[in-house]
Amino acid sequence: MKSSEGGGFPGHRLSRAGGVIAGTLLLLALALAVPAFPGCGKGDESLPAWQRDPIVPGYSAAAIEIGSPFSAVQEVHGDPEEHRSDGGYLYAYYGRTREGGRLDDPASWLLVVTLYDQGNGYLDPEDEVGAVEVSAPYAGRTSGGVGIGSTVEEVEREFGPCTNVSASSEQEELLLYSYSDRGVEFLISPREGVITVLVTAYGGLRPVEETAGGEAVDGGVFGSHKADPILPGQSAAGISIGSDFRSVRELYGMPDSSGHTTEGLVYATYTWGYGTWKLTLYLEDRDKGKGLDDFDTVVSICLRHPYAGRTPKGVGIGSSQADVLKEFGTPEKQTTMLHQGEEATILEYNAKGIVFALRVPSGEVLEIDVNRPLVP
């Protein structure tokens, strides 16, 4: 089992990176130290009215409506303390709760607003709100009473069993409970319960499709390479095993998250500013500097939805286990384990340079990793 030593939330921060490399499942769990939060009363009158505003999935939180312009946010909250542009989205940060905290640390900000960039990389009055993210000491609750500090049982009592749960940390087993069809996500700590709530439109944040140069294209994070063939041991998504990071950067720009693993590799994760990761690369750290450099070389290409490329005989994301076995035969190794917060069956074809992760119990392919082949 391999592990990473990176830190920080990519994208809208409630997401994680991971992958399979060299025939072994590699869980990229990004470290996040979450302090204990004081209890938040459901009706604490000492807080401003907006901090007691109800959480309405798919619609609003913190007196901000999804789809409203940034000018409406300014009317209630003023200008943000910090802001950044990333992957076609803009992020406005309000209410620092911990000195020295990173922008991607939910324990450091009371309110984060995600907006769809109108194209210039700056916060403009007409930029549209896509998501509202609140953390302690926010006291607003859903109609069923769920909010900061709620337990998993309380969340599922109101919203039903969650079918989309992903792991979010190595130091502490943070889990992201996503009800994107309901327009709400919960980041949950086993010690503190819900620590962050994200409200979006029904269906979640919509993709903002752009290239590294900022021009809109079809295919989301993958752009024109979304349907490139998957060639085991060789290439996928326009990237070849052995390519240097400089060539990757020319295609995809800088990653949403990067770091190094305990095995001496470096990784680059692309979320495209929303949801969980779509593309993760592992590279040989040529200069042993523990950071991405132009001449680090790709040894693994990890792919998830919405990648649409297929193997020579048609296996892709969403294919069945039967399809995998028909093309590749009996795997060299098969294991079942918890991967990215859900049970998955791992089929390893190391000599061919390809590994599949299949969702349990459906048996559908949820991840394909093209690796440098291992010679027996």
HEC secondary structure over 220-268 = HHHHHHCCCCCECCCEECCEECCCEHHHHHHHHCCCCEEEEECCCEEEE
CA distance 127 to 118: 6
Encoded tokens for 84: 């950044």
Q: Dihedral (C-alpha) 54, 57, 62, 65: value to the nearest 10 degrees?
A: -120
Terminal-residue alpha carbon distance, the chain = 20
Burial classification of residue 325, based on how many CB atoms lie within 10 Å of its CB (0-12 exposed, 13-18 middle, 19 or more buried): middle
Q: Could you give the C-alpha distances from 13 to 72, 159, 169, 193, in angstroms and in order?
A: 23, 22, 12, 18
pLDDT digit of tens for each residue in the chain (376 aa)? 233 332 222 233 333 233 333 332 332 222 223 333 333 344 466 889 999 999 999 889 999 998 889 999 999 999 999 988 877 889 999 999 887 667 777 778 999 999 988 777 788 898 899 999 999 999 999 999 999 999 999 999 999 999 888 876 544 578 999 998 889 999 999 899 999 999 998 888 877 644 333 333 445 688 889 889 999 999 999 999 999 999 999 999 999 889 988 888 999 999 876 557 889 999 999 888 888 999 999 999 999 988 989 999 999 998 999 999 999 999 999 999 887 666 889 999 999 999 999 988 889 999 999 999 987 6
Task: Report the Cα 173 to chain-centroid distance in Å.
Answer: 16
Beta 2-3 vs 24-27: how paired, if at all? Answer: parallel
Q: Which residues fall within 8 angstroms of residue 259, CB to CB, at 6 or more apart?
A: 4, 5, 6, 7, 28, 30, 266, 267
Single-letter code of the amino acid located at 131: A
Measured over the CA atoms of residue 75, residue 79, residue 81 and residue 86, the dihedral's sign is positive
Query: Residue 141 has what DSSP assignment?
Result: -
CA distance 86 to 15: 14
DSSP lists the bridge partners of residue 59 as none
Of the candidates 368, 363, 364, 359, the one whose C-alpha atom is nearest the C-alpha of residue 164 is 359
